[in-house]
Structures are given as structure tokens and as C-alpha cells.
Structure 1
Amino acid sequence: MTENRDPGGPVRQFTADLVGAAMAGAYDQVADALGVLARADAPHVPAEIVGELVGRCASAVRARRPADPGSIFTIVVADDQSRLVEVDRLPPGPLAALRALLASLGGDDASRDIQVELATRGRPEDVVGVVIHLLVWLVELSYSSETALPSLSCFTP
């Protein structure tokens, strides 16, 4: 008998648990999960997790800012003092994750997939940094005012 299983099921469950812990403020659980991710030996797993998180962030943006297909989304990057910063000053991983989010919002799945791949090409600690950014973005989007434009924090070295 053949079982019909979703091959992404374990990754989706891991991501759901990671998001649940982040939303609940269970930072020890988040840290433990990120440690597991950093030690993961399967190269496709980080890309699947980042892809899931990008999709969740895009859904959160769409929920507050519905747009017609073909709408163009833009971003403004500011530092913690609200001064404008060039987007290219972001670290490569979070920059690629931000571009993946914009591609997802624009319905460009091919570009989204390319940017997710680029976001997960670094060392394990770089990939963990990307996942942390996406988790922070998801929390920020979930708990910020629905009338305000989405604001996403980025952390630079």
C-alpha cells in the first residue's frame, strides 16, 4: 500500500512550530530550532523554510494591503534613527529575502525562487540570520497597526 504523503510536510511542520514559538515569544524554543537548522545536513531544507516564511510574510502584507495582480510593491529602508538607507547596504542574505518577498508580492514565482536560493547560499550562521529576519518581519507584520504601512526591521553587521 502506498501512502500519499506531502514531502514538504516535516519542513512545513518545523516552520509552523518555529513561527508559533516566535509569535508566542518562546525565544528558547526559537533558539533551539535555529540550532537544529544550523546543523541540518540537507541543503534543500533551509530554502524550503525560507520559502515558507517568505510566503507567510507575503500573506501578512496582502491581508493588510490587498492589491490587484500586477501591482508594484516598493520598499523604503531606514535605520533605527529613521534615516533612509540604500537597500543594497543590507547583508546579502536578508537582501535576497527582501527581494524574494517583493517578488512573491508581485506574483513573480520564478524570481522569488531565485532570491530564496540566493538567501540560503551562505554559511549556516548566515542562513540562520535570514530566518531570524523573516521571523522578525512576520512578528512585526502580525502585531503592527493594520492602518500603518508595513515596517520591517533589518539588522546589519
Structure 2
Amino acid sequence: MTENRDAGASVRQFTAELVGAAMDGDYEDVADALGLLARAGSNRISGEIVAELAGRCASVVRARQPADPGAVFTVAVTDERARPVEVDRLPPGPLAALRALLADLGGDAESRDIQLELAARGEPDDVIGVVIHQLVWLVELSGSSAPTLPPLSCFAQ
């Protein structure tokens, strides 16, 4: 039991440092951390990081746009050139991460967990792509002071 708590604390600390580096624009530290994650080769750890990042994104949205229970959230997605992207055309991992975020915001824990599991599947490069998307979303959501939430960026892999 203690081992699991220590591992969970380590994942939370790693994620906090990764988010801090991304928010500070320290992309060299972000790249180093992502390299460590890719080499770790642990689906469990990657899954926990993906879940932690999804929760952080949902917290930022809730803080900026408090909603009544049962509220429906929609997402606008753009590409690297700020052009709208059809959500269903996203790569599978980022699409699952986006669906997990929406399920979290909608209070659907079961769907969130299923989508998080799907987002953290695949080769290490696939999971790193999901984490990169989530970091970009977190920076976008946190960095905007506009009354409406910004569109989320997505990049083809």
C-alpha cells in the first residue's frame, strides 16, 4: 500500500514539474521530462500522468466557467495554423484525451476512465503525443484572459 502511495506521489510530483516547465516556457525541461517518460515504458505511469493532466485541464475550465450540474460542454479545435479541425479527424490518442476531458466536465466518471485508458494506449510515441496535446491545452486554457475559453490546438502526428 505504501509503495502505491509513493508511486502516486512521484507521478503527481513529476506531472507538477512537467506542467510548471510548460507554463514557464522551459521547453528544454519539458523535452527532457518527455524523454524520461518515453524511456520509462510504463503504461501505468503514463496512464496516471494522462489522467492527472486531464484533471488539471478540467479544473482550469471549471474555475473559469463554473457550470451547473448537467451542463453540456463543447470544444472548438484548431490546427497549428489556427484553422478549425473536425474533432473526429483527430488522432486516436488526443481524441480520447479530449473526450476524457469532456466526460470529466460532464461528471461522467465511467466514460472519463474509459477514454483515459484509450488515450494512454499505444506506443510510447503515441502517449507522448497525448501528453504534449494536454500540456498545450493546459497552457492555452490557463493563458487566456478572455471571457470565453480559447479553442484547443491539435497537431497531426
TM-score (norm 1): 0.91
**Is residue 6 of structure 1 aligned with residue 5 of structure 2?**
yes
What's the offset of the Cα at 1:83?
4.6
State the superposition RMSD in angstroms: 1.9
CA shift for structure 1 position 70: 1.2
Structure 1 counterpart of 2:95: 95
- Residue 61 of structure 1 aligns to a residue whose secondary structure is helix
- Aligned partners of 2:2, 2:44: CA distance in 1, in Å? 23
Greater shift after overlay, 33-42 or 123-132?
A: 33-42
For 1:45, give the aligned amino acid: I
Contact 2:78 2:151 in 1 (8 A): no
Kindly indicate whether the alpha-carbon contact (under 8 Å) linking 2:76 and 2:152 is maintained by their aligned counterparts in 1. Answer: no
| Aligned partners of 2:78 and 2:85 also within 8 Å | yes
Q: Would the alpha carbon gap of residues 26 and 138 (structure 1) be closer, same or farther in structure 2, given more than 3 Å must change?
A: same
**1:10/1:82 CA distance change after superposition, 3 Å:** closer
**Aligned-pair distance for 1:151?**
1.7
- The 2-side partners of 1:133 and 1:105 are apart by 18
Q: What residue in structure 2 maps to residue 63 of structure 1?
A: 63
Equivalent pair of 2:41/2:124 in contact (CA under 8 Å): no
TM-score by length of 2: 0.91
Structure-2 separation of matches of 1:34 and 1:4: 23
The more displaced of 84-93 and 125-134 is 84-93
Structure 2, unmatched stretches of 5+, are none
SS in 1 for 2:134: helix
Partner of 1:138: 138
Equivalent pairs, count:
156
The DSSP-based 3-state class of the residue aligned with 2:45 is helix
More displaced 10-residue stretch of structure 1: 31-40 or 140-149: 140-149
Give me the whole-angstrom Cα distance separating, in 2, the residues matched to 1:71 and 1:149. 15
Q: Which residue of 2 aligns with 1:112?
A: 112
The Cα shift of 1:81 comes to 5.4
Instruction: Tell me the SS of whatever aligns to 1:6.
Output: helix
Higher helix share: 2
Structure 1 residues 39, 58: CA separation in 2 closer, same or farther (over 3 Å shift)? same
CA distance in 2, matches of 1:132, 1:79: 14
Tell me, in whole angstroms, the C-alpha distance in 2 between the residues paired with 1:28 and 1:82: 25
Counterpart check, 1:22 vs 2:22 = yes
In structure 1, stretches of 5+ residues that fail to align are: none
**Cα drift, residue 82 of structure 1:** 5.2
Aligned residue identity for 1:111: S
Question: What is the CA deviation profile of residues 56-82 of structure 1, one whole-angstrom value per residue up to 9, with x for unaligned ones?
Answer: 000111111100111111123344555
Alpha-carbon shift at residue 86 of structure 1 (Å):
2.0
Specify the alignment match of 2:77 in structure 1.
Answer: 77
Shift of 1:148: 2.4
